[in-house]
Every structure is written in C-alpha cells, then in structure tokens.
A and B are shown apart, each in its own frame.
Chain A
C-alpha cells in the first residue's frame, strides 16, 4: 500500500478526503489513518405505498404494526434465515398516515430478501383489527434525500393526474397552486406534509 502513493498524489488525496467524506478510503487508509476510517455504511431505503380500500383505516396504523407484519411475512417467506436478516439494521423509518407512504431502511446486502417478502403481505394487524392492504414499491434509494426527491416528483405526477379529474374551478386552482409550489428547496419538513395532504383532500371530494 505504501508504494502506491507518488508524492504529488498525496496532496490531492488529502484534499479529496476532506472535500468528500463519502469517498471509499481503502486506498488512503494506510497513510491517512489519522483522518479516520471513512468507509461508508451503505443502506437501501425502500419507498412503499400502502394501498388500502378505506382511507380512514390508515389513521390507525403506526410503525410498530408494520414492522411486526413485516417480521411475520419475512419469517414465513424466508424462515429463520430471513428473520436473522431482518434483525440486522432493518427499520421502518417513517409512515405517513394520510397518504400511506412507508419508508423502510435495510442494508445493501439484504434489501432484496426483504423486498421479495413484501408482495405476500395481505393484511395489517393493529390492536386486533385487520386492515386488508397491499404494498406497492415505488422506489429504492440509497439515501433519504434521493427518496425525498423521487417522492416530490411522484406527488407532482399524481397531482397532474388529479387535475384531469377535477370537477370545479376551485379545486383546479388549488391543485394548480400545489403543483407550482412543488420543489425540494421550498418544501422541507412541514411543507412536504402539506403538499401530500392537499393530495389527500382533493381525492376525498
């Protein structure tokens, strides 16, 4: 390892490490041990849409119910081996009760196993109530930010589709305003929720 660092490359190497901490540093490790171990922890985020027949039943669900159902489904589909995979770094990160967007975080090497068990989930259980549903996988991303970008684009497409279904002018105005205000910089946190809840309001009318 020490032979593959010619002198002018050293400065560039240090610059690279400082500017972009995500670079995989196996080449730099030997000489730059003082900078720290910068091999990146890779995970995959599965963006799912939870489709239920009645929107109101979505309000009852929480992350725990989904993770329990996921565990049961992976146990049935992949046995003890699958359950072991699930216990390593799989987490239901986020659930939007209004639109049914679920965010699951998995490791890079086991996300396909968990993904393959998702079509077999037919109902969710929460406090004794069965909610029949199915999961629709929208996107697989490497970071939360890429998934958020995709979600904004996807919601824009959904709003465009709803614009065609709108009956009154007021609804059309509201939907147009929502579409125009869609952008990642503008929408952070609560604004993102607002956009998705507009989505929900128009559909109920």
Chain B
C-alpha cells in the first residue's frame, strides 16, 4: 500500500509580476500572411486608438507567434492587463478588413498556458 501522496498548498497574494495571455486572431477573409512584427504593430495600434500615446506606453512582449494558425502568447505587466485586454476586445479591423481577437487563456503563470482542457484528448483511456 503506497502512502497517500502529501500535497502542500501555497497561497500567494501577488503571485507573479506578469500576466500571460494566449490569443488568436480571426480574420473575416481567412488567413493571410502576417509577420510577428505586423501582429505586434496591430496590437499597438489598437492600444493607441483606445488609450492614446500615454495610456498605451506600457511594454508588452510577444513571446510566441504561430504564423499558420495566427495564435500568439503575450506577456504583460499586471498593471497593464486590463488595458491590453480591453484594447484587444475593441480592435475591429486590420487593413480595412474585419477581424477579431479571441482570448483563449489568461494566467499569471506561463506553465498554465501549456495545457488547455479544451485540447485534451482522451483517446488512450477510451481504448482501454
């Protein structure tokens, strides 16, 4: 009989300085060739429209970008999360074409973005 595994629970108030967002860009006319620089420029333009020069002056990073799927992982400081998220929500057009940002996951820990219950596959368990 193996002993029951112990687990310890840590509760942090301010766990991490950053927040990580997994987003994807959905275009009306299907996928186009967008480079990572253009993608970041698009987000910055959305921020500037909504919050102006001063309001959009917080830094955020594009950590990963998938050109085929147009999905990305962004990293932003905690104080800028609300602004970034609201700007992504209200961004409506890219080069006169309607587009939308879908926010898939947001977490203060990057590790949490590696697994997503939507993409879970139960094939092995069902087979047995």
Question: How many B residues face the partner with a CB closer than 8 A?
Answer: 9
Q: How would residues 44 to 63 of chain B score, 1 for a CB under 8 Å from any chain A CB and 0 otherwise?
A: 00001111111110000000
B53 contacts A81, C-beta separation under 8 Å: no
B54 contacts A75, C-beta separation under 8 Å: no
* Chain B residues closer than 8 Å to A82, beta-carbon distance: 51-52, 55
* Chain A residues closer than 8 Å to B48, beta-carbon distance: 79
B51 contacts A81, C-beta separation under 8 Å: yes
Instruction: Specify which of B48, B51, B54 lies most central, judged by the most chain A CB atoms within 10 Å of its CB.
Output: B54
> A139 on the interface (CB 8 Å rule)?
no
Distance of A114 from chain B, by nearest CB (Å): 12
A76 contacts B55, C-beta separation under 8 Å: no
Q: How far is the CA of A74 from the CA of B50 in the complex (A)?
A: 12
Distance of A69 from chain B, by nearest CB (Å): 16
User: Using a Cβ cutoff of 8 Å, how many contacts connect chains A and B?
Assistant: 34
A77 contacts B50, C-beta separation under 8 Å: no
Q: How far is the CA of A81 from the CA of B51 in the complex (A)?
A: 6
B49 touches which one: A74, A79, A116, A117 (CB < 8 A)?
A: A79
A117 contacts B55, C-beta separation under 8 Å: no
Residue of B nearest to A79 (CB): B52
Q: How far is the CA of A77 from the CA of B52 in the complex (A)?
A: 5
Q: How would residues 75 to 90 of chain A score, 1 for a CB under 8 Å from any chain B CB and 0 otherwise?
A: 1111111100000000
Residue of A nearest to B47 (CB): A79
A117 contacts B51, C-beta separation under 8 Å: no
Distance of B81 from chain A, by nearest CB (Å): 15
* Chain B residues closer than 8 Å to A81, beta-carbon distance: 50-52, 55
* Chain A residues closer than 8 Å to B49, beta-carbon distance: 79-80
* Chain A residues closer than 8 Å to B53, beta-carbon distance: 76-79
Residue of B nearest to A74 (CB): B52
Q: How far is the CA of A185 from the CA of B55 in the complex (A)?
A: 44
Q: How would residues 90 to 122 of chain A score, 1 for a CB under 8 Å from any chain B CB and 0 otherwise?
A: 000000000000000000000000001100000
* Chain B residues closer than 8 Å to A117, beta-carbon distance: 54
* Chain B residues closer than 8 Å to A74, beta-carbon distance: 52
Distance of B90 from chain A, by nearest CB (Å): 9
Contacts from A to B (Cβ < 8 Å): 74-82, 116-117
Contacts from B to A (Cβ < 8 Å): 48-56
A-B contact pairs, 17 of them (CB 8 A): A74-B52, A76-B52, A77-B52, A77-B55, A78-B51, A78-B52, A79-B50, A79-B51, A79-B53, A80-B49, A80-B52, A81-B50, A81-B51, A82-B51, A82-B52, A82-B55, A116-B54
Q: Which 7 A-B pairs have the closest CB atoms?
A: A79-B52, A78-B52, A79-B51, A77-B54, A77-B52, A78-B55, A79-B50
